[in-house]
A and B are shown apart, each in its own frame.
Chain A
Amino acid sequence: MDLAFTGEEDAFRAEARAWLTAHVPPEPLPSLETAEGFAAHRAWEAELAADRWSVVDWPAAYGGRDAGLVRWLLFEEEYWAAGAPGRVGQNGISLLAPTLFDHGTEEQRALVLPPMARGEVVWAQAWSEPEAGSDLASLRSKAVRTDGGWLLSGQKTWSSRAAFADRAFGLFRSDPDAPKPHQGLTYLMFDLRAPGVTVRPIARLDGKPAFAELFLDEVFVPDADVIGEPGQGWRIAMAATGNERGLTLRSPGRYLAAAHRLHALWRDRGSPDATRARVADALIGARAYQLFTYTAASRFLDGVSLGPESSLNKVFWSEYDIALTETALDLLGPEGELADTEWAERYVFALAGPIYAGTNEIQRDIIAERLLGLPKGRR
């Protein structure tokens, strides 16, 4: 066991740090969840991509650096420590891209990935429906066969980033007669500006349109935009949700940087005793998450995938993030009520963590049944 990095890894870290020092905007960009902020974040993605920093772990052919998992983790540590902007392309990069690497065709990768890496095409997800949340497999939006493709109809909701995004990916019921709910689903990509698509933004708690409802009325999707085999969508999507909960959605660097900022804030406010334990726990939690991820990365490099253990990860970071941002707001005192601060933005964002990417109740069921071997029961 060791925690030392190789000379090449250290050099990579130094190169990333130097680039970020030279390029990270000195002032925070406007909120990602506004039209103006979305555009500014899109431009930042292009700047990252121009020097191949937007998707370092991807193959060079698609705009990456073939950096691998360990160097991706180091990049993320540097990225968030530098105070760099949130990633508007996150959904595509951490959910759709891994799916395309595993289940897409070479043509799909060549067409989809480079513009994703440059922020030219920003992706939204289309999983949940009004009557299909935690019970996602009961979804009813359908894909009906037509000449050369499929016609999508139905309603999707809680679609993050969809208010301003370009395209979306999600699951549709292509075989209504399949014997079980999770059979007969197909994974498709579609254009949010195609005829038949209506996007209705939804204001989250602070009023910003962070997600949207999607109404689909016979939206044509060519066969080329089906990922994997029709009818195999559930299996393919579950592989992606493993990514979402697991290694690639929330890197440790994000929380280490936030914990250090919280520590600095606590010191600025005179190191008050009332929040001493919570600030220490934020530092410790970030370190624990980093080390847990290092272990997962070590095992991954040995050929062991994360599997249901990704549920441990999701419960941990989502609850951690809320505790950290709540502590910051408490430290801010009267200013903690203001909505136009970075900490407030972080806090509102953190509140959604235990709900999206599979609620923490679903994750705890997975932990109990698949990691601890407890019997299935009524939900």
Chain B
Amino acid sequence: MRLVLDDEQRAFTDSLEAMLSGADTPSVVREWSRGEHGSGRALWGRLASADVFALAAPEEYDGVGVRPVELALAFMALGRHVVPGPLVETVTAAALLPTPDLVKRLVSGETLATVAYDSPYALDGDAADLRLLLTPDGLHAATAHGPVRPSLDPARRLTTLTPGDLLTAEPPLAKALLLARLTTAAQALGVGLALLDRTVAYVRQRTQFGVAIGSFQTVKHQLADAKTALEFARPLVLAAAVTLDPADVAAAKVTACETAYATARTALQLHGAIGYTAEYDLSLWLTKARALRTAWGSPEECRDMVLSADGRRW
């Protein structure tokens, strides 16, 4: 039993963090939200070069073998930097697709994929090159997408899809859903961690009544609670990546998403009115925390999976 990152995992996280820190992701998000995908696609190419999508594909498909722990680490970084685009969906597509050529193009970053499942909407249906639809019959390619509907998170552009050819009647749905939930959980955890960092920085420099508001006990205690919740969500996400057990993954999903959302509420409150503005960058994380809560499995669905897990003792 060893539940800490090894040197290689730490180095991978550090290099991805360094790359994203220098990528001015808030500007990329704002362009993406306007439907201008150029800078987002350029960043996507750099993520592919960093092997982010290769972590979701076997070696014969140009991947590095499915590596859930590294995927989780990558998605924590993507969440921290609010990277836009159908990230979870591209990983999910790589797990679903029966055709090596398509998967290879996902791994190389050439192709962005979206997947609609259990929802009338697909994320970024306008930006994706490959649009997939999961129905009770199987996995379909979509022929067209509907108009973009605004999401509460402006960076998430939702469209309907029109079902086309059946690609496979029996896609590996269970495995793909585990990866979708795991990466969504990791992304949400990254969003929550970034919200905490940004809020701590804000309350240290914002002064009222002649002192930093971060010296007030009521402010401190809200942030202490956010820190506690995030630090207990973190090992759930990492362990879910290690075991890929459905109950572990469901537990990680509901906890990371609810914790990120609670942290968003705290962050908004402690920033005050400035946090309520679209112009201030905090909004990019605040709105994503809400959207991820229901993506790829609602809290209720995830809790039911935990309750129905039988025959095994945590």
Contact = CB atoms under 8 A, between A and B. Distances in A.
9 contacts: A281-B303, A284-B303, A287-B236, A288-B251, A294-B3, A312-B232, A373-B200, A374-B219, A377-B217
Contact of B307 (A279, A367, A376): A279
Given A376-B215, A377-B211, A2 B2 contact: yes
Given A1-B2, A284-B236, 8 more contacts: A81-B313, A281-B303, A288-B233, A298-B2, A361-B221, A365-B224, A372-B220, A374-B223
Contact of B1 (A4, A368, A378): A4
A315 B228 contact: yes
Contacts of A316: 228, 232
Contact of B255 (A2, A284, A363): A284
Nearest to A286: B314
A371 B227 contact: yes
Contact of A1 (B69, B214, B219): B69
B209 to A, nearest CB: 11
Contacts of A299: 4
B42 interface: no
Tell me whether chain B's interface is mostly helix, strand or loop, or mixed.
helix
Contact of A290 (B215, B255, B314): B314
B227 A372 contact: yes
A364 interface: yes
B280 interface: no
Interface string B278-311: 0000000000000000000001100110110000
For the side of the interface on A, what is the size category?
A: 35 or more
A120 to B, nearest CB: 34
Which 4 A/B pairs are nearest by Cβ-Cβ distance?
Answer: A377-B215, A368-B220, A280-B303, A291-B235
Contacts of B243: 3
B204 interface: yes
A328 interface: no
B235 A283 contact: no
B203 interface: yes
A378 B3 contact: no
A321 to B, nearest CB: 14
Nearest to B241: A1
B43 interface: no
Interface in B240-299: 241-243, 248, 251, 254-255, 299
B308 to A, nearest CB: 10
B240 to A, nearest CB: 9
Interface in A322-379: 361, 363-365, 367-369, 371-379
B5 interface: yes
A374 B307 contact: no
B238 interface: yes
A260 interface: yes
B1 A283 contact: no
Interface in A286-326: 286-292, 294-295, 297-299, 302, 309, 312, 315-316
Contacts of A315: 224-225, 228
A291 B236 contact: yes
A5 interface: yes
A377 B208 CA distance: 13
A271 B307 CA distance: 10
A281 B303 CA distance: 8
A276 interface: yes
A286 B232 CA distance: 10
A70 interface: yes
A280 B217 contact: no
Contacts of A216: none
Nearest to B225: A364
A287 B251 contact: yes
A256 interface: yes
B212 interface: yes
A291 B214 CA distance: 30
Contacts of B251: 283-284, 287-288
B161 to A, nearest CB: 32
B24 interface: no
A118 interface: no
Interface string A266-279: 00000100001101
Contacts of A302: 4
A140 interface: no
B145 to A, nearest CB: 35
B231 interface: yes
Which of A81, A276, A315, A361 has the largest count of B CB atoms less than 10 A from its CB? Answer: A315
Nearest to B251: A284
B60 interface: no
Contacts of B203: 374
A256 B1 contact: no
A238 to B, nearest CB: 19
Interface string A5-40: 100010000000000000000000000000000000
B228 A276 contact: no
A1 B69 CA distance: 8
Contact of B303 (A271, A276, A287, A297): A276
A78 to B, nearest CB: 11
B250 to A, nearest CB: 9
Interface string B1-35: 11111100100000000000000000000000000
A377 B254 CA distance: 35
B227 to A, nearest CB: 6
B130 interface: no
